[in-house]
Amino acid sequence: MAPRIVIAGFLHETNTFAATPADYENFVNGEGFPRMRRGGDVLGLADVNIAAGGFIKEARGWEADLRPVLWCAASPSAPVTDRAFERICGEVVEACRDLRPDAVYLDLHGAMVTRSHDDGDGEVLRRVREAVGPRVPVVVSLDLHANMTRRMFDEADAMVAYRTYPHVDMAETGRRAASLLRRLLDGAALTGHHLRIPFLVPINSGSTLLEPAGEVYDHVQSVPDDDVTLTFAAGFPAADFPDCGPSVFGYGEDADAVVREVERLRDLVERREDEFALDVMDAEQAVDTAIRTVESGVSPVVVADTQDNPGAGGDARTTGLLRVLLERDHPGSVLAAMWDADVVAQAARAGAGGRIEAEFPGSGVDGDAPLRRTFEVAALTDGRVVFEGPMMRGNELAVGPSCLLRSGNVSVVVSSRKAQIMDRNQIRAAGIEPEAQNIVVVKSSVHFRGDFQPMAGRVLVGVAPGPMAADPTTLPWTRLRSGMRTGPDGPAAP
């Protein structure tokens, strides 16, 4: 008889220092991820570069009875509301009870905090395990930034996380999860081992397009999955609870080999600690460096507005980099994308070609002042985009009515819903060709690199006041595990 496999996805990366929570509607909308899907519609994600898509494609090649329940994700933010968590998790757990599966595949992030649960992913796993019993294999795909907990390791039979940042291997990670589940269904006895890394890794420093992360993940890839399926989960360094931080772990049939490879990986990461140090510029330095670079004949220059990244808990509302961009007024400058439904509505009333007095209120973070400016409404759009770049290729994004504003030489994309900039089509949809610009400022930290870095003459990381601290040593930690260093070679938590 074909094994009955429950498939579900519930992803959130939680910044406990952020202001805006994730409620149920945020998961319905997706906010840069695919919109919520249920039942057979989940199978339509097979061609999207997400882990569930890769799992579905791989598992379709088996003689298996696939039973998709739901898949959803929301932009990183403050903790998930109890309303959203209980409704979504409850739906998954109820299906596990009713369907009595032979196996369960879960597409999780690994860094979800809810109003009532520090370890949101561990709580999902605990409830699923309670529903299916101890003998049903449960396999999980995770984000590279998972904050791994004891409960997650106790409840899951095997887990594997992305190995690239930008996460261009999400579907491949789903295929790895499928391979692990296939082995378990075939009777393999997988042994797991995990170790913690004693320092937080700034998200900008962890890009696998840079060193030392490139070498670390090259090492992970060099170990055959059939021997040990190895993971370096770099952690999400903005969740104030004891288990925040990086981990290394692996699964395989040879227990000695698993321990050996996990320890080798731990040693490599710890040897390179100082090289994970942050390399950023303040807003004025970033824009002025971009201008000098363009004047030297190198363009476009892409600048990451990292502390307002909606993919890390920002709300795409900060004004620091936009203010400097407007002051410098360099030809061919664009910023994408501010989140302000009121400004979009104001632009719609004025119509294309009209002029508006727009006020962006800022994020409320100290040093992030409101910005008022007269803009021309250059274009109005429906905010619908299909990704063609390597990050979530095939994803259909809908950020609601949007507009392109222009002041002098500077263009600003504004949307009704927030979304991290990951794909050049998000700028093209507003009528701007990013390759033809001189300076492109994006509300992102690293994921933009997947599609923007190949066309960029230079990439810079700019720091303006915002809700996602690029340097985790500056955060007001109160609950971090004692002894954990809050950055590479940084101070330790008491």
Q: Please indicate, yes or no, if residue 180 is contained in any of the structural domains.
A: yes
Average of per-residue pLDDT across 143-151: 98
Please report whether residue 475 resides in a domain.
Answer: no
Residue 329's region, left for phi above 0, alpha for psi from -120 to 50, else beta, is left
CA distance 192 to 209: 29
- Please tell me the predicted confidence (pLDDT) of residue 318: 98
The pLDDT of residue 1 is 76
What is the per-residue pLDDT for 389? 95
161/285 same-domain check: no
Residue-wise pLDDT tens digits, 337-390: 999 999 999 999 999 999 999 999 999 999 999 999 999 999 999 999 999 999
Asked whether residue 320 falls in the same domain as residue 263, the answer is no
Question: What's the domain count of the chain?
Answer: 2
Task: Kindly state whether residue 245 falls inside one of the protein's structural domains.
Answer: yes
pLDDT band per the 50, 70, 90 thresholds, residue 490: very high
Establish if 132 belongs to a structural domain: yes
Per the domain annotation, does 349 fall within a domain? yes
Instruction: Quote the percentage of the chain above a pLDDT of 70.
Output: 100
167 and 236 housed in the same domain: yes
Residues 294 and 413 in one domain: yes
> What is the model's pLDDT at position 242?
98
Listed residues 253, 276, 299: the one ending a domain: 276
Tell which of 241, 259, 276 closes a domain. Answer: 276
Residues 248 and 287 in one domain: no
Same domain, 160 and 289: no
The verdict on 141 and 289 lying in the same domain is no
Q: Same structural domain for residues 244 and 332?
A: no
pLDDT digits (tens, 9 = 90+) for 428-474: 999 999 999 999 999 999 999 999 999 999 999 999 999 999 999 99
Q: Does residue 491 fall inside a structural domain?
A: no
- What pLDDT does residue 63 have? 87
Yes or no: say if 414 and 345 are a contact pair by the CB < 8 Å rule. Answer: no
Domain that holds residue 165: 4-276
Binned at pLDDT 50, 70 and 90, residue 32 comes out as confident
Give the residue from 276, 306, 328 where a domain finishes.
276
